[in-house]
């Protein structure tokens, strides 16, 4: 069995987690694959220090990437074990149930979910708002699930390798909810076993969960529903582009009426500011998993402005051509906007957010 452990700033938890897994698993064969997103606290180095003396331990270190789901997928793919478990590094997941989970797999289950929402399970010390948020998310997940599961949001589960291989190309790999992604992507009926446990308090360090998980969860739900037809990132990109029009008009009005600027100057300022707005929002929302910071943010902004500048020229060129060839002005404009949007999306995806981040 391979235990995949995604980490971000968990250096103080690594040794204790491995000690407990070792104590619990005894002589049963296991290995641990840590997937660390280049944590500034040196988690990867802490894992490798142990890996030097314990061959069951390995570390995949990802550079310039963030994301719990994609980390879990890459960790699972980095192992050849017939059974894969996924658990957090902060000791909130009760490792003592690992042998029972493995036994369920041996008895024929495809997936074993360690659940907080069944008899004997609990979310431990959560406050009311966190509890209600988790319940709300669990209810929403039924939109995309084919089979009922009491805790599809669980980050603690075990599966057979063939379950992963059967759906790995369909995974959205967005956000925090890898189990939900796996269950919703699997095309065949799965034998799912559930095992209750009590969610513990963090051992050391702090939670990486912030308000953005709601956004990421929304992206996952959208991708699993309409993602087959339109890429969710393109939708987000276009939505933000639409908001940019409002920013543009507000700045233009202020520049014309408030500062009495010449129209061309005002229009240029409005265009530039709405580009900055679009870039910043896309960087935090659409490309959250590849977000740029520091100098990379400025470089990204520059490439974004250049790409969108070319997109604007294409937009004007194509709509003018259509207009001159007897297309109604509204249709000519929409065609120009669509082509400009697709260009901006495709090019910035490749050059602004596709490059190395440092």
Ligand X SMILES: Nc1nc2c(ncn2[C@@H]2O[C@H](COP(=O)(O)OP(=O)(O)O)[C@@H](O)[C@H]2O)c(=O)[nH]1
What residue ranges bind ligand X (CB under 6 A)?
A: 6-8, 10, 35-37, 66-68, 71, 88-90, 92, 155, 207-209
Of the listed pieces 85-93, 119-127, 168-176, 339-347, which binds Mg ion according to CB under 5 A?
A: 85-93
Smallest gap from residue 339 Cβ to ligand X (A): 35
- The residue among 35 and 193 lying less far from ligand X, judged by its C-beta, is 35
37 binding partner (options Mg ion, ligand X, none; Cβ < 5 to 8 Å by kind): ligand X
90 lines the binding site for Mg ion (CB under 5 A): yes
Whose Cβ is closer to ligand X: residue 73's or residue 193's?
A: 73
SS3 of the chain: the string is CEEEEEECCCHHHHHHHHHHHHHHHCCCCCEEEEEECCCCCCHHHHHHHHHCCCCCEEEEECCCCCCHHHHHHHHHHCCCCCEEEECCCCCCCCHHHHHHHHHHHHCCCCEEEEECCCCCCECCCCCHHHHHHHHHHHHHHCCCCCCCCCCCCCCCEEEEHHHHHHHHHHCCCCCCCHHHHHHHHCCCCCCEEEEECECCCCCCCCCCCCCHHHHHHHHHHHHHHCCCCCCHHHHHHHHHHHHHHHHHHHHHHHHHHHCCCCHHHHHHHHHHHHHHHHHHHHHHCCCHHHCCCCHHHHHHHHHHHHHHHHHHHHHHHHHHHHHHCCCCHHHHHHHHHHHHHHHHHHHHHHHCCCCCCC
Write down the least CB distance from residue 270 to ligand X, Å: 36
Enumerate residues 6+ apart whose C-beta is below 8 A from 55: none
At closest approach, how far in Å is the CB of 268 from Mg ion? Answer: 48
Beta bridge partners of 129: none
Q: How far is the CB of 285 from ligand X (least distance, A)?
A: 16
Is 90 or 94 the residue whose CB approaches ligand X more closely? 90
Minimum separation from the CB atom of position 91 to Mg ion (A): 9
Pick the stretch among 34-42, 87-95, 301-309, 314-322 that binds Mg ion (CB under 5 A): 87-95
Q: How far is CA 241 from CA 69, 173, 345, in A?
A: 27, 24, 10
The residue sitting closest to ligand X, measured at its beta carbon, is 207
Which CB, 39 or 315, lies closer to Mg ion? 39
Least CB distance from residue 165 to Mg ion, whole Å? Answer: 28
Residue with tokens 């209810």: 139
* Residue closer to ligand X (CB basis): 55 or 207: 207
Q: How far is the CB of 109 from ligand X (least distance, A)?
A: 24
Residues 31-70, one symbol each (x = binds Mg ion by CB under 5 A, - = not), give ----------------------------------------
Q: Does 92 bind Mg ion (CB under 5 A)?
A: yes
Residue closer to Mg ion, measured from CB, 68 or 149 = 68
Answer with the entry of Mg ion, ligand X, none that 216 interacts with (C-beta below 5 to 8 A by kind): none
Nearer to ligand X, 35 or 113 (CB): 35
Site membership for Mg ion, residue 74 (CB under 5 A): no
- List residues near Mg ion by CB under 5 A: 88, 90, 92
């Amino acid at each position: 069995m391979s235990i995949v452990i995604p980490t971000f700033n968990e250096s103080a938890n690594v040794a204790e987690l491995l000690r407990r897994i070792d104590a619990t698993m005894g002589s049963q064969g296991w290995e641990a694959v840590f997937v660390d997103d280049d944590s500034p606290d040196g988690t990867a180095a802490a894992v490798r220090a142990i890996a030097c003396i314990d061959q069951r331990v390995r570390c995949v270190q990802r550079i310039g990437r963030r994301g719990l789901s994609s980390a879990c997928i890459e960790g699972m793919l980095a192992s050849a074990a017939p059974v894969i478990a996924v658990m957090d590094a902060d000791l909130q997941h009760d490792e003592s149930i690992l042998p029972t989970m493995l036994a369920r797999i041996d008895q024929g289950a495809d997936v074993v979910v360690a659940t907080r929402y069944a008899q004997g399970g609990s979310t431990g010390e959560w406050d009311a708002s966190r509890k209600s948020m988790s319940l709300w998310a669990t209810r929403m997940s039924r939109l995309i699930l084919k089979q009922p599961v009491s805790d599809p949001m669980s980050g603690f589960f075990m599966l057979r390798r063939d379950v992963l291989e059967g759906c790995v190309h369909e995974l959205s790999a967005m956000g925090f909810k890898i189990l939900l992604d796996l269950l919703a992507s699997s095309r065949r009926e799965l034998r799912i076993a559930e095992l209750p446990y009590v969610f513990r308090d963090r051992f050391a360090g702090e939670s990486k969960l912030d308000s953005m998980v709601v956004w990421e969860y929304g992206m996952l739900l959208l991708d699993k529903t309409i993602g087959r037809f339109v890429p969710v990132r393109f939708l987000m990109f276009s939505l933000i582009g639409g908001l940019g029009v409002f920013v543009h008009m507000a700045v233009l009005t202020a520049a014309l009426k408030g500062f009495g600027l010449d129209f061309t100057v005002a229009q240029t300022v409005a265009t530039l500011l709405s580009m900055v707005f679009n870039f910043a929002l896309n960087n935090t929302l659409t490309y959250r998993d590849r977000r740029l910071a520091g100098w990379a943010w400025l470089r990204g902004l520059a490439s974004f402005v250049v790409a969108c500048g070319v997109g604007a020229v294409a937009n004007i060129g194509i709509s003018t051509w259509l207009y001159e060839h007897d297309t109604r002005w509204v249709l000519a404009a929409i065609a120009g906007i669509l082509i400009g949007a697709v260009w901006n999306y495709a090019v910035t995806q490749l050059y602004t957010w596709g490059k190395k981040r440092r």
